[in-house]
Structure 1
Amino acid sequence: MLIPTNLLAEPGIVQGLLDGSLVRYGSVIRHAAGTPQGGQIVRHLLEAPGLTNQLMSLPFSPVTGAVSLVTNTIGHAATYNKLIGIDRQLIGLQQTASSILGFSQIAAGASILNIGVSIAGFAYMGYKLHQTQKAIGNLQKSMAAGFDRLEDRLDALSGQLAYLHLLVEDSREEQQRLGNAIADLHKALLIKNIADLQAELEHLKRFPDDSPKAALKTATSARLFLASQATQAPLEFDANTLMLVDISTQGWAVAIATEANLLLQHGQIPEAREVLAREIPRFQQHAHQWAKSLLNTERPELATAQRFATPYFKNCITPERVQRITQISPSDRALSSDQTLQKRRGAKVELEMTRTQPQLTSQWKYRQLAIAEYLDTLSELYARLDGLLAFAQLCEQQGVKSSHELLPDANAKPGLYLLPAVET
């Protein structure tokens, strides 16, 4: 099944991603909407263990930066493949998998799930849970110290919770309130559930041949608890609420992926598909509710994800990020190209109106960047879980005894690999 080449060595896929006839969605490549086969899976994205290990050492730029793995890891893969069979004028040596796959400016929180399915995925998810806990500690220290320069504070964070600084940057009272909430968070069951799940992931990394029963029980328990915490919180544009929901949501996603991957690896493939088929619609609804709430505004012309695609945000928010947010926005996702363009023009005109200018303060802009960061995380997490469901369905269709049968082996070169979808 596995194509033993890096993604950039398959010209047809690269060309499709460049001209827009193909799109990356989570961990799969699909025919783009509007094409004759729109939505159909073309390839599954898998990463070799070496790539997953490298992910653990790469920095993620907070709030508006691109994911560094693209240049440092996948970009190098293009070099050692020497762009075999690809027109250099078309791709160019500066063209990396970042722009081809749309990885630029993915919120750091979304990196808590690996790109696709990986043998070393448990180690990576455990590592990112640790990074989440570390981010909470760093954020607490930063709030206690106060704000000197916003950029310095953002650089001090791991990136996963950096958007919270943008929400409370102008209010010392809000900073203190958020600091108190972080302290309370350490005492909450929320952290205990994440810590328990992290401990099981660490155990799986050290003893991969052990029975998965204990880890499955912990993952199921964490999934149920964290899902309830994420979905029962009020839809409020408040730093404390966003922080609690964000951490719960990321933990929920990891618990889902952990439980499903354990079942896939140990041959319980129908059970894995059932878990994913049950949880993913709930996660999608959760993402839609938050997108609808956070994109809402008193100015109807701005109550759309397309406000982020206007010239006002050109240097802050990439088109890929706008597209991902659109995927979870109920009012944007079903629009035609003409309707999308109309929304974008309406938002642009509104932002240029004289009556709107007093509203466009640095505080307002920070809040918009925070909203974009937050929604981007939700969108990418949902897309990657959806990709995992597609992989589970592939395992079931192929009749494999374990998902390991479809994955690159431990000796595979670091990089992304392609797995064909089952023909229907």
Structure 2
Amino acid sequence: MLIDTTLLVNNPELIKALLDGSMKRHGSVIRWAAGTENGGQIVRHLAETPGLTSKLMGIPFSPILGGTDVIGHGLTYQKLMGIEKTLSSVMRLTQIAAGASVLNLGVSIAGFAYMGYKLHQIQNTLGHIQQSMEEGFNRVEAGLNRIENSVITGFNRVEAGLNRVDNRLDTISGQLAYLYLLVEDSRQKQQSLAKAISHLHQAMLIKEIAALKAELDDRSRFPDESPREAIKTASRVKLFLSNQAMQATPELDAEIMLNVDVSIQGWAVATATEANLLLEIGKPQEAKELLAIEVPKFKQVAERWGDKLIREENYYLSTAYRFTNSRFKKHITPERIERITEISTSDRTLSPDKIRSKKNHVDVEFEMSYSSSKFDETWTHRQIAVAEYLDALSELSARLESLESFAQLCESRGVKSSREILPGADTESGLYIL
């Protein structure tokens, strides 16, 4: 290997720096923290072994939420530091949503198996969309009522309704607007068409995800075969799912968020797969060019959702720092809030004084007499869901960004394949630093 790989647990100096905050994990790299002399500079890269990936895949629940020691001694350091904590806490991996719960999206070629597993989970999620559609069909009917009322109240509103339907149909093919005109006189046909559009969209997502999963399975079975077909499939899926994610308008709506979440996760997996395969065959420049296009787009989508879901009618609560209030203490950790601020354009550049001011205003607002009725339990639960959703977006964005750094590392070291600098299948299971 051109780069030494050692278990992170065997580097107490690095662990100490992560504990005291002088270093931070960002995606799949460790950087000097902002405010230090070398703030922002990369210290080390991180990589997982195939054995660790397999253990994580076999856990029936998120390893970061339970107390199991399935990860083994490779991710604990009580003996080294005399502190009863797990390395997942040191690495600030606790409470990351399931869509971004491991590091191998960033750098590990061994992560192909996990990527396939993740895609299978996405497919299962898609299976619930139809059930959600059925349970929420009253909302569809209400929407159709509004369209019907628009016809009565005036031509302008009818035209606006037609435009909304036309835009929705354009998402599917761009040429199906005539269908609305054919069924506008029949409420039953309108309902049927709405279902058909939803089914078609779901089928298209499943088809693309299934195609990528098949290629990942094939790569796992035949790792020495040419990856050209897998690269081609990953590129096609990436283009389709990124388009789906970028077209969606951010809304605090469960069905929209679910569909976008599926598209975004698939987009991240497809992009990481294509980049990793290019690095595996010794094409770091091509991988860097790919990521230079995809990472900014991914960040833009993450920021759009961040700004939309963080925004509140109440000015003082329209900040990610509202999650620092005591009502969220049992549900949202400080590290999750920190990750969310990274995709909040209004929060991430605030000075320490401004942050303190924001937090004070939040606390005062929640102490107001109307707080208990206006910000009730339902509102609180919705905020917890928003925090988890945005956390996953922020973390996935960081993982893809760190993959750019890994591509740069491969190029600077002149390796013929990224396999040369990653821990192999025969190495001890654990999390490694490069």
Give the TM interval when normalised to the shorter protein: 0.7 to 0.9
CA distance in 2, matches of 1:404, 1:59: 29
Q: Contact 1:46–1:118 (CA<8 Å) still a contact in 2?
A: yes
Aligned residue number for residue 31 of structure 2:
30
Q: Distance in 2 between matches of 1:176 and 1:111?
A: 38
Q: Please give the secondary structure, in 2, of the residue aligned with 1:60.
A: coil
The amino acid that maps onto 1:76 is H
Task: Summarize the Cα distance change of 1:330–1:124 in structure 2 as closer, same or farther, 3 Å threshold.
Answer: same
Residues 345 and 181 of structure 1: CA distance in aligned 2, closer, same or farther (over 3 Å): farther
**2:189 equivalent in structure 1:** none
**Matches for 1:29-178 after TM superposition, within 5 Å:** 29-61=30-62, 66-68=64-66, 71-74=68-71, 76-78=73-75, 83=79, 86-88=80-82, 92=83, 94-111=84-101, 114=104, 116-137=106-127, 173=138
Q: Could you give the per-residue CA deviations for residues 189-245 of structure 1, whole angstroms, max 9, x where no partner exists?
A: 122111111111111111111111111111111111111100011122212211111
The one of 376, 383, 390 aligned to 2:405: 390
Distance 1:309 1:175, change over 3 A: farther
Shift of the alpha carbon at 1:362?
2.0
The equivalent of 1:370 in structure 2 is: 385
CA distance in 2, matches of 1:98, 1:412: 20
CA distance, structure 2, for counterparts of residue 199 and residue 241 of structure 1: 27
1:391 counterpart letter in structure 2: F
Cα deviation 1:355-376 (Å, max 9, x = unaligned): 2321122221121111111101
Match of 2:300 among 273, 285, 304: 285
Amino acid in the other structure paired with 1:41? I
CA distance in structure 1 between the partners assigned to 2:400 and 2:432 by the alignment: 18
Gaps of 5+ in 1: 147-170, 420-424
Q: Match of 2:69, SS?
A: helix
Task: Assess if the C-alpha contact under 8 Å between 1:45 and 1:115 holds in 2.
Answer: no
Partner of 1:339: 354
CA drift at 1:7: 1.1
Give 1:278 shift. Answer: 1.2
The CA deviation at 1:292 is 0.4
Counterpart contact for 1:46–1:115, Cα < 8 Å: no
Q: SS of the residue aligned with 2:423?
A: coil
Percentage identity across aligned positions? 53
Task: Tell me the TM-score normalised to structure 2 length.
Answer: 0.82
Asked whether the 8 Å contact 1:185–1:191 carries over to 2, the reply is no
Determine which of 316, 323, 330 is the counterpart of 2:338. 323
**CA separation of 1:21 and 1:353: change in aligned 2, threshold 3 A:** same
User: Are the structure 2 counterparts of residues 241 and 267 from structure 1 closer, same or farther at C-alpha, using a change threshold of 3 Å?
Assistant: same
* Shift in CA distance, 113/254, structure 1 to aligned 2, threshold 3 Å: farther
Relative distance call for 1:54 and 1:2 in structure 2 (3 A) is farther
Alignment of 1:186-225 (within 5 A): 187-225=202-240
Q: Of 413, 423, 432, which aligns to 1:408? A: 423
Instruction: Summarize the alignment of residues 178-327 of structure 1 with structure 2, pairs less than 5 Å apart.
Output: 184=199, 187-327=202-342
Deviation at 1:78, TM superposition (A): 4.8
Contact residue 28 and residue 47 of structure 2 kept, 8 A: yes
Q: Distance in 1 between the 2:321 and 2:42 partners?
A: 26
Structure 1 residues 112, 38: CA separation in 2 closer, same or farther (over 3 Å shift)? Answer: closer
- Asked whether the equivalents of residues 324 and 334 of structure 2 are also in contact (C-alpha less than 8 Å), the reply is yes
Q: Greater shift after overlay, 129-138 or 278-287?
A: 129-138
Q: Which consecutive unaligned segments of at least 5 residues does structure 2 have?
A: 143-193
Q: Aligned Cα RMSD in Å?
A: 2.5
The CA deviation at 1:134 is 1.7
Q: Which amino acid aligns with 2:265?
A: Q
Contact 2:298 2:397 (8 Å CA) reproduced: yes
Aligned to 1:166: none
C-alpha contact 1:48 1:416 (8 A) present in aligned 2: yes
- Taking the aligned partners of 2:140 and 2:340, their CA distance within structure 1 comes to 27
Q: How far off its partner does 1:132 sit?
A: 1.4
Does the 8 Å CA contact 2:105/2:111 hold for their aligned counterparts?
Answer: no
The answer to whether the 8 Å contact 1:280/1:382 transfers is: yes
Query: Number of residue pairs matched?
Result: 382
**Residues 20 and 217 from structure 1, CA distance in 2 versus in 1: closer, same or farther, beyond 3 angstroms?**
same
- Aligned-residue offset at 1:320: 1.1
Q: Would you say 1:20 and 2:21 are equivalent positions?
A: yes
Residues 292/2 of structure 1: CA separation in 2 closer, same or farther (3 Å cut)? same
Between stretches 333-342 and 131-140, larger displacement belongs to: 131-140
Structure 1 CA distance for aligned equivalents of residues 373 and 137 of structure 2 = 23
Structure 1 or 2, whichever has the larger Rg, is 2
Shift of 1:184: 2.2
CA distance in 2 between counterparts of 1:112 and 1:226 reads 21
What per-residue deviation string (whole Å, max 9, x for no partner) do you get for residues 248-270 of structure 1? 11111011101000100001110
